[in-house]
Structure 1
Amino acid sequence: MPGTSERMNGVGFLAIVIGSVAVSAAANRRGWPGPLVVVVVASAVSLLPGLPRMELPPELILAFVLPPLLYSAALELSFVSFRRDLLPIAALGVGLVVFSATAVGLVAWWLLPALTVGGAFVLGAVLAPSDAVAAVALGRRLGMPHRVMTILTGESLVNDAVALVAFELAVAAYTGYQPFIDRPVPLALYSVLVGVGVGLITAMVVHQIRPRLHDPALETVFGAVVPFVAYLAASELHASGVLAVVAAGFWIGHHSADAAFATRLQSRQVWHTVDLVLEAFVFAYMGLQVSVILQDATLEGTGPLQLLLGVTVVLLVVLVARPLWIFALLSLNPSRLPRRYGVVLSWAGMRGVVTLAAAAAIPATTISGVPAPDRNMIQAIALSVAVLTILVQGSTLQPLIRFLHISDAADRRRAEADLARALRVARRAAHDYTARATTNGEEAVTMALIEHRIAHVLNASSHAQQPEQHDHELVQAILAHQRRALIRERDAGRLDDEVLRAVLQQLDYEEAAASTDLRTRL
């Protein structure tokens, strides 16, 4: 059994980060699902004799681990796709959270006599939200269809805020502490409206200030503080920090084309690194909670059979509630989504970091000062179910996708068509500019540059050579003209954000190469 309890110090945090990244890298090299391997290894490590119990304060998880993960996902999610699938995202991100919390609370109260009614509904609120980190990490690895990934990511960005409001209300009833607003509907409206408002204001201010710094490194660092500022500012106003982060991410991501090319390139690498490190850490931290589960259950005197019964009952409710809700929606409007996609969505509801943080944030005492009843049992069941959803659902998603013959072939064809359309827009913009701006034989040189870029974007085998001598200012002007044309196409709804970002990335590389070439020759 692990040793005595202690808060995680800097050395422990660093050890988890390094170990989880190393295990994830080793798993990826062998073609294994990295998140699952990290959870399994961390679970085994947590049971080593004499290992200190490592825990992060819940406020640290919510304020410094969750915001960058949500922000990065919102940056990359296409606003066009999100708007197109807003109805299923809202049905899952709002309706399913309420349904899951209610179902878990009622069944736990009915079948687990050790739980009070208040404790049962706190447990339901803790386990209500699915996790963006788990869904996106596993979805990318398994090659889920683009639309399924959009709905899963959108749902996970929305449901955290709804679940935390439900958690606040359930804890108030459980302990007697009063929330900022004691009525659920006004509290939810205030939390949503103020949270989104804070996020948008934060993003707009940063968007206005960043270009005035005239330094890509400073602009990148300034942009990196956005999720933390948005979350903490909204939390100070008792609003949803999660929705503030999501709103800020959507705004910055949608307007990323306005930034300088060097800032875009640096920011993309920074957030890719942050994702890699934090995702590995979150999965390792979840695995390490196995020892926490056993310790807490023992401290409260919960017997192994009682804990096993609680975990089994709640896990079954969590696994069944999601498909019931999704297929009820599909029966009402079967044309919205193929049933095969509904099956995958039903089995992709892993729990994660919000469940961990909420479970740890349950008050230890009631308002009268007495210990909160069943707190350790609630935490043990919640953490157990969270880890098991990662292991059970995560390990069986890939066989399920293969069994249903779901592939992203249609998505690839659509993406290729969208990319081809974007390249036509870029080519036409370059031709239009050169027709107006080039003279004295420069057009041939300029068009050679254009053909080189287009061949590079398409990853086609081409021997088109970039001319050794070219006018750097002319290249910059052509690239700027192409970017404006692509943004207009996106704003008109004819181009997806993700395709726009892919083409802009290639144009950014071309401008970076041209700038490097110019500095070398100077």
Structure 2
Amino acid sequence: MDVQLLLVMTGALIIAAFAHLRGLQAGIVTVTLAAAISFIPGLPRLELDPELILGVVIPPLLYSATLNFSFFAFVKNLRSILGLGVGLVVFTTVVVGFLTSWIAPEIGLAGAFVLAAVVSPPDSVTTVSHGREIGLPRRTISILTGESLVNDAAALTLFAVAVAAVTGDSEFIENPFLLFGWEALIGLILGVVIGRIVIAVRRRVGNPTIESGLNLLVPFLAYFAAEQLHASGIIAVVAAGFTVSISHFTVRPSTAPSTAYRTRLQEAALWPVVDLILEAFVFAYMGLQFRFVLEDLAESSTPTWSTIGLGLIVLLAVILCRFAWVYFSYGRAQLALLIYAKRVAASLDPSAARRQRRRGGPARPVEGRPGRTDRSRRPDSVQRLRMQQRLDSATGPNGRRGGRPGPGGRQGGRDRGHITVLTPAENLLVSWTGMRGIITLAAAGGIPLTIASGAPFPGRTIIQTVAFIVAVGTLLLQGSTLPLLAKTLRIDTTAEDAEVEEGRADARAVAAAAVAGREDNTSGEYFDLQRAALTQAVVDRKISPASAGDVRHELDALQAGVTPLLD
């Protein structure tokens, strides 16, 4: 097994290197070639314990994605993220569960919901990590990344409840809503506590290698500690990642070691390597299961073609569920904003006001206030100015949806960060980015062999086969066409890119002002003053955290270039 794992990882990395040289998507190429390799005669089956996958592969991938994702962007898009990460998972589980029980009644309603919970969570972290390369807008990347950080927890909770209903076992908390609340709350608390402890230890070490080693342990500590308390290890990992990432925006004591910049640079190079190895292994593992899934299906009493047909129907169902949810959720917000904008625009149009007065006759006196007329139909200059400001804050001064947000997500003087309205092209991209992955396969592999009475778990082979079809099908169908779709839609990110560059320019100006007049541009204090100024500017909401992070990374690289390794 050890040699087989090593060979799989080595082969996956070689395939990834080949795909990179050819400009191809490494994940798609790896899955396809691994599926073909699985038919080599005599090739042993690589079968891992699902708990090993959930506890060793998933935590570092989620933790790395969290470290590279802005907590402030997560909060700004929280409503959209929870809608996709929790609401869509529940919606997909309900629809697919009832659909499966109707098509395949032999597995029962509870078994159908086990299958639905298995296939409900998209796993698009790998895809959106290369989002800018394939042309995804930054806001779309933020929403999809945030969704991937929370949907696994919701799906695994539903999976545990559904499996318990089939086997007859009792969960730690039988009420699914209370169970999810417990898992989320305790996981969140544990993640924050572990993150704070690691931050405190790292600040006293002063050695970049040891600090990076401690950071590598964080996802595993958070995951297994939460699982021991029947909490969500996924949420604990995400909470720990955010806790560590936002610690960069706190002012460190003057006596702290001046090696933090080296630690950040070292980890910036370390985590992409971890991601590459784990992602390559995940895709290879998925492909290598192909032949053995077909063999398991052929050896069972389940009709092969009917199971494959069920898998294709479920594949179509999960895709359509995502389209329906995305267009319903964002379509309502877009329609409401459009109606609001039209009403305000009509109020600002003098000709429309005159037509309204002609239709309604002279201005009516206001009841109880003699001599005053109803001005609601004739906005004066002050009223029109206020309405124009409200319209600009909702649609932007150029009439487009969404004005330019401020550093903290404030827009037009009002905090509209909780409202997200996507363009039709962005709606299509979010709807199409619903690839399933290793979570689906791990959950399917974790289905018990028997129920409490000792009888076989009903429909276990069907569930695992359908889960494999959905995972590989969405990856090959949606994952392979997503770059082409993004290119075809030609979403103009010029304004978005200009806004990012403007934010970076503001952050550079803040950093430069902090050291104006100083000539010791190679000392540690010179760079520390600039970082402290950036942190304070973020606290004062003068610049965005993302811009501050980009400029801080530039300062880290500059300091590493002018500072000896041993100072």
Give 1:392 shift: 0.1
Equivalence for 2:322: 322
Residue 293 of structure 1 aligns to which amino acid in structure 2? V
SS in 2 for 1:362: coil
Choose which of 429, 441, 462 in structure 1 pairs with 2:514: 429
**Alpha-carbon distance in 1 for matches of 2:509, 2:74:** 25
Paired residue for 2:173? 181
Q: State the 1:402 CA deviation.
A: 2.3
Aligned counterpart, 1:153: 145
CA separation in 2, counterparts of 1:140 and 1:66?
Answer: 23
Identify the residue that residue 391 of structure 1 maps to in structure 2: 476
For the Cα contact (< 8 Å) 2:135–2:483, is it kept in 1?
Answer: no
Could you say which residue in structure 1 is the equivalent of 2:243? Answer: 251
**What corresponds to 1:502 in structure 2?**
550
In 2, are the aligned partners of 1:190 and 1:239 still within 8 Å (CA)?
A: yes
Deviation at 1:24, TM superposition (A): 0.9
Aligned residue for 2:38?
Answer: 46
Contact 2:132 2:138 in 1 (8 A): no
C-alpha separation in 2, matches of 1:36 and 1:140: 18
The aligned counterpart of 1:278 is 278
Q: How far apart are residue 183 of structure 1 and its match?
A: 0.5
Deviation, 1:291, is 2.0
Partner residue of 2:372? none
Q: Which amino acid aligns with 2:179?
A: L
Whether 2:459 is the aligned partner of 1:366: answer no
Q: Which residue of 1 aligns with 2:360?
A: none
The answer for the alignment partner of 1:460 in structure 2 is: none
Please name the residue that 2:298 is paired with: 298
Match of 1:32 in 2: 24
CA RMSD in angstroms, aligned pairs only: 1.6
Residue 6 (structure 2) aligns with? 14
| Shift of residue 178, structure 1, vs aligned partner | 1.2
Cα distance change of structure 1 residues 235 and 331 upon mapping to structure 2, 3 Å threshold: same
Pairing 1:465-504 to 2, within 5 Å after superposition: 472=522, 475-504=523-552
Residue 414 of structure 1: CA displacement? 1.9
Paired residue type of 1:430: V
Correspondence for 1:420: 505
**Residue in structure 2 matched with residue 80 of structure 1 by the alignment:** 72
Q: Which residue does the alignment assign to 1:351? A: 436
**Which residue does the alignment assign to 1:409?**
494
- For the structure 1 residues 22 and 330, does the alpha-carbon distance in structure 2 shift closer, same or farther, using more than 3 Å as the test? same
Higher alpha-carbon deviation: 270-279 or 506-515: 506-515
Count residues in correspondence: 474
Deviations 1:430-474 (A, max 9, x none): 21xx3xxx5xxxx4xx4xx5xxxxxxxxxxxxxxxxxxxxxx5xx
Q: CA–CA distance in 1 between the matches of 2:555 and 2:505?
A: 15
Distance 2:279 2:153 in 1: 20
Equivalent position amino acid for 2:289 in 1: Q
Aligned to 1:129: 121
Q: Tell me the amino acid that sits aligned with residue 495 of structure 1.
A: I
CA distance in 1, matches of 2:290, 2:545: 40
Aligned with 1:59 (options 51, 58, 69): 51
Return the alpha-carbon distance in structure 2 between the equivalents of residues 313 and 497 of structure 1: 44
Specify the structure having the higher radius of gyration (Cα): 2
Per mean C-alpha deviation after superposition, the further-off stretch among 287-296 and 354-363 is 287-296
Amino acid across the alignment from 1:41: L
Q: Which amino acid aligns with 2:160?
A: E
1:406 to partner: Cα distance? 1.7
| Aligned residues of 1:76 and 1:498 also touching (Cα < 8 A) | no
One-letter amino acid matched to 1:43: A
One-letter amino acid matched to 2:24: W
Q: 1:306 to 1:494 in 2, by over 3 A?
A: farther
Q: 1:20 to 1:498 in 2, by over 3 A?
A: farther
User: In the alignment, what sits opposite 1:340?
Assistant: 425
Structure 2 residue 211 is matched with structure 1 residue 219: yes
Residue 195 (structure 2) aligns with: 203
SS at match of 2:6: helix
User: Who is 2:403 aligned against?
Assistant: none
- Answer yes or no: is the 8 Å Cα contact 1:24–1:280 preserved in 2: yes
What CA distance in whole angstroms lies between the structure 2 residues aligned with 1:109 and 1:296?
22
Structure 1: segments with no counterpart, 5+ residues: 1-8, 450-471
Aligned counterpart, 2:87: 95
Aligned to 1:142: 134
Moved more, 263-272 or 94-103: 263-272
For the Cα contact (< 8 Å) 2:433–2:479, is it kept in 1? yes
Using the TM superposition, give the Cα deviation of residue 494 of structure 1 relative to its aligned residue in structure 2, in angstroms.
4.0
CA shift for structure 1 position 289: 2.0
Q: Secondary structure at the match of 1:255?
A: helix
CA distance in structure 2 between the aligned counterparts of 1:135 and 1:246, rounded to whole angstroms? 18
Aligned position for 1:380: 465
Kept after mapping to 2: 8 A contact 1:293/1:384:
no
Alignment partner of 1:514 is 2:562: yes
Inter-CA distance 178–494: structure 2 relative to 1 (3 Å threshold): farther
* Range with greater deviation from structure 2 (51-60 or 285-294): 285-294
1:296/1:376 contact within 8 Å kept? yes
Q: Structure 1 residues 489 and 47, CA, compared in 2 at 3 Å: closer, same or farther?
A: farther
Deviation at 1:140, TM superposition (A): 4.3
Give the distance between the partners of 1:390 and 1:60, measured in 2 at CA. Answer: 22
Q: 1:373 to 1:495 in 2, by over 3 A?
A: same
Partner of 1:110: 102
Report if aligned partners of 1:199, 1:245 keep a CA contact under 8 Å in 2: yes
Residues 90 and 327 from structure 1, CA distance in 2 versus in 1: closer, same or farther, beyond 3 angstroms?
same
Deviations 1:69-124 (A, max 9, x none): 00000001011111111111110011000001111111111122443212110000
Please state whether the residue corresponding to 1:47 is helix, strand or coil: coil
Amino acid at match of 2:204: R
Confirm or deny: 8 A CA contact 1:33 1:141 kept in the other structure.
Answer: no
TM-score, scaled relative to structure 1:
0.88
CA contact (8 A) 2:194 2:240 kept: yes
Displacement of 1:517 in angstroms is: 8.0
